[in-house]
Structures are given as C-alpha cells and as structure tokens.
Structure 1
Amino acid sequence: MRLDKFVCKSTRLNREEAVVVIGAGKVAVNGSVVVDAGAQVHESNCIVFQGGCLKPRPFRYLLLNKPKNTLCSNVDGDHPSIFNLLDVEYPHELHIAGRLDADTTGLVLITDDGRWSFNVFNPKYHCQKVYRVRLRDSIEGEHKGEIDKQLVTRFKQGLELPGETKPTLPAKMAYVSEREVLLTISEGRYHQVKRMFATVGNRVVGLHRERVGSIECDVPCGEWRYLSDEEVEGFGFSPFSELDNRL
C-alpha cells in the first residue's frame, strides 16, 4: 500500500493533506522519516505520525444491487454515480470491483481493499459471474423450451470476438425462456456478454448480474449491505496473500 494511502486510511486526512505532511518529514516508517508519499508500506510496519503509531481502519466490503442508468464511478457523469446510494463514512476511499455498464443492473462489489478486488476479478482464479440475459431474438432449439444445443456448444468451446486474438474462456448457458438465459463466465472482457451474443447474431436487450463467486445479489434494487467474513473469504484465496507491494 502507498504511504499516503496508509496515512489517509489511518487518519482523517485526505490524499492532498497526507502528501503535504509526508513531504514535510512528519511521518516515520519503522523509525526512519520517509518523505516519499508513494513509498510502499505494509500493515505490519510501524508508521508514526504526531507521536502515535498509526492503525488503519478495517477494510470494508459491500454488495450493491445496481439500478439501471447509474454509473460504476465515484463521481456523477451522464448518469448518477452508484455512490449516491451509499450511506458510509469516507466514501472516497472505496472503489468498485468489476464495473457494470450504465444500462446493466445487478451485483456490484465495492471495497477499499485493492488486493482483494484485484484477486476477485483476476482471470487466473476463474471466479464465476452469472448474468441473466434478455435477448432480442428467440434462442429456442428444435423443441420448444430447449435452448439451441449448437449455441450452447459454441459458448462452451469459446468464441472469437472481433478485434481479439484469443477466444473467450468456456461459458455455460442455461435456458430460462425463449429469449432469456443465464450465462456463466469466468472472465470480464470489455462488454463481453453483449459482444458474445452479437458474435452469434443476437442482441442483448437486458443484462443483470446475479452472482459473483458464491455471493448472490440478495438485496432489492438500489440497496446495499456489508459482506460477511465468510463471503469475503469465500473466493478461494486469502485477501492478504498477494500484491503486498503493488497496491
């Protein structure tokens, strides 16, 4: 973690104020004054400011059911930011893990733990994301009520998306109705679900993320909750196992 971020997370200083006090030589790391705000530090270091050893606030992990026409951004733009829906302290410390398009709804994870969010959406962990997809055209197969088996096979084998050299990783499709499916993917390329269906000649007209890993989108639209410790640790890796010196 950067030193200025550590100071912010341990005090009421904002990033600009933290940079100033660090540059003024008012912060020491393990007994030595450090004036580089970008210096990498670890939670186990003794970081002293104003005579006391700083202790960062615990990391926070939130789940939000994102409404349509909102932005996965910390600030408003063409649509309002989803951060307007949160009632928490220090919202500027939080970031969004696994952003959704403005017109996409469903599960969004929000945290101030950069290592955890990096690992959740790191392709090497193959974290599965489940989307409910509404389509323009019917995808029924030969028998009514069955999804086109050839299409299922194509998604399972991987699709070559325009402008990309590697096919998508295997995806699982489950039938809901003639124009609705559940799609499970384990990567997060740009507009991936929409591009996958465009590649096979269809069009996504509604997209909702229902699950990430074992975490279900179980709150009403526009509402949020904190994740339990079991949910945070349930992705098959330790939140503190990697990237100690990168974030």
Structure 2
Amino acid sequence: MRLDKFVCKSTELTKSEAHHVIHCGLVRVNGEITTIESTQVHENNSIFLNDVRLNLRDFRYILMHKPAGTICSNIDEVYPSLFNFLTVDNPSELHIAGRLDADTTGLVLITDDGRWSFNITSPAQKCSKVYRVGLSRPITEDVAHRFKLGIALQGEEQLTRPAILDVISPKEVLLTITEGKFHQVKRMFAAVGNRVIRLHREAIGEVKLDVEVGQWRYLSRGEIAALTKEQP
C-alpha cells in the first residue's frame, strides 16, 4: 500500500493533506522520516505521524445489487454512480472489484482491500462469475461445447478460458466464466452469431446476490474468506 493511502486510511486526512504532512517530514516509517508519498508500506510496519502511531481502519467488504443505468465508478459521469446508493463513511476509499457495464445489473462487490479484490479480478485466480443472459435469438445446440473449448474474440490473441453454459430456455442461459475481458459476455455471444439483450450477474465465487435492486449489505466473514482463497 502507498504511504499516502495508509495515512488517509488511518486518519481523517484527505489525500492532499496526507501529501502535505509527508512532504513536511512529519511521517516516520520504521523509525525513519519518509517524504515520498508513493513509498510502499505494509500494515505491519511501524508508521508514526507527529509521534502518534497510525493504525489502519478495518477493511470493508460490501455486496450491492446494481441497478440498470448506473456506472461502476466513485463519481457520477454520463450515468449516475452506484455509490449514490451507499451510506458509508469515506466512500472515496472504496473501489469496485469487477465492474459491470451501465446496462448490466446484478452483483457488485465493493471494498478498500486491494489484495482481496485482486483475488476476484485476476484471471490467474480462476474466480467464477455467473451471469444470467437474455438473448435476441434461440441458442444453438453447439454453443455450450464451443464455450467449453474457448472462443476466439476479435482483437484477442488467446481463446477465452473454458466457460460453462446452462440453458434455461431457448433465449435465456446461465454463463459461468473465470475471467473478465472487456465486454466479454457480449463478445462471446456475438462470436457465435447471437446478441445479448439482457445481462445480470448472479454470483461471484461462493457469494450469491440476495438483496433487492439498489440495496447493499456487508459480507459475512465466511464470504470474505471464501473469496480470499487462492485457486489451484
């Protein structure tokens, strides 16, 4: 973690205020004055500000049901930010682990723990994401097998990782993937001659969506731990 972020997460200082106290030589890391805000530190380091030891606030892990027409951003842009639905302190410290498009609904995880979110977003960790997909035309019988083998996406050198397709009805399926390329689900169905008209994320790993649209809750310890485990 960067030193300026550590100072912000252990005090009520803003980022600019944290930079000021660091540049003024008021912060010591393991006994040495450190004036570079980008210095990498660890929560086990001894970090003092004006002779007061700093301790990180507990990390936060939040599940939200993202509505359509919102964006996975900390601020409003063309569409409103889903952070408008959050009522927590210091929301600027939070980030989204695995973004969804503005028109996509469903499960979003929000945290201020970068190492935890890495386990969710890194393809190497093989964290599964389950999507309910509405299609413009009936699914053909060969698609499940093609997805299992991997699909060539335009502009990508490698095939997609093996994906699992479960047919609910001719125009509705569940798709489980373990990576998150740009617009991946939509591009996968486009590659097999179909079009996604509705997309909803139902689960990430062992965590399943269980709140109403626009609602949120904190994850349980068990859910947090389940998404912390590295996959073989």
- Taking structure 2 as the reference length, the TM-score comes to 0.97
Shift of 1:49: 0.8
Residue 169 of structure 2 aligns with which residue?
177
2:95 alignment partner in structure 1: 95
Kept in 1, the 8 Å contact 2:119–2:228? The answer is no
Q: Deviations over 1:122-159 (max 9, x none)?
A: 111111100000000012xxxxxxxx431111111110
Amino acid at match of 2:32: S
Show CA shifts across 1:39-71 (max 9, x none): 111101111112211001000000010000000
Residue 189, structure 1, aligned to residue 181, structure 2 = yes
What is the RMSD of the two structures over their aligned residues, measured on CA atoms? 0.9
Secondary structure in structure 2 of the residue aligned to 1:233:
helix
Describe the superposition over 1:192-213 as per-residue Cα deviations: whole angstroms up to 9, x where unpaired: 0000000111000000000000
* Counterpart position of 1:120: 120
What is aligned with 1:55? Answer: 55
Q: Which amino acid aligns with 2:166?
A: A
Task: Note the C-alpha offset of 1:235.
Answer: 2.5
Partner of 1:244: none
Alpha-carbon distance in structure 1 between the residues aligned to 2:85 and 2:142: 42
Match of residue 72 from structure 2: 72
Aligned to 1:17: 17
- 2: CA distance, partners of 1:10 / 1:175: 48
In the TM superposition, what whole-angstrom CA distance separates every residue of 1:3-57 from its partner, at most 9, and x where no partner exists? 1000000000011100000000001111111111111111011111122110010
1:226 counterpart letter in structure 2: Y
1:220 and 1:67 map into 2 onto residues whose CA distance is 9
CA deviations 1:160-198 (Å, max 9, x no partner) are 011111110111111111110000001000000000000
In 2: Cα distance, 1:187 partner to 1:33 partner = 42
In 1, Cα distance between the equivalents of 2:138 and 2:11?
56
Q: Structure 1 97/187 Cα, relative in aligned 2: closer, same or farther at 3 Å?
A: same
Partner of 1:229: 221
Q: Which amino acid aligns with 1:95?
A: H
Alpha-carbon distance between aligned partners in 2 of 1:138 and 1:108, rounded to the nearest angstrom: 28
% identical equivalent positions: 56
Does the CA-based 8 Å contact 2:9-2:56 persist in structure 1?
Answer: yes
- Runs (4+) of structure 1 exceeding 6 A deviation are none
Question: Aligned pair in 2 of structure 1 residues 126, 78: CA closer, same or farther (>3 Å)?
Answer: same
Deviation at 1:236, TM superposition (A): 5.4
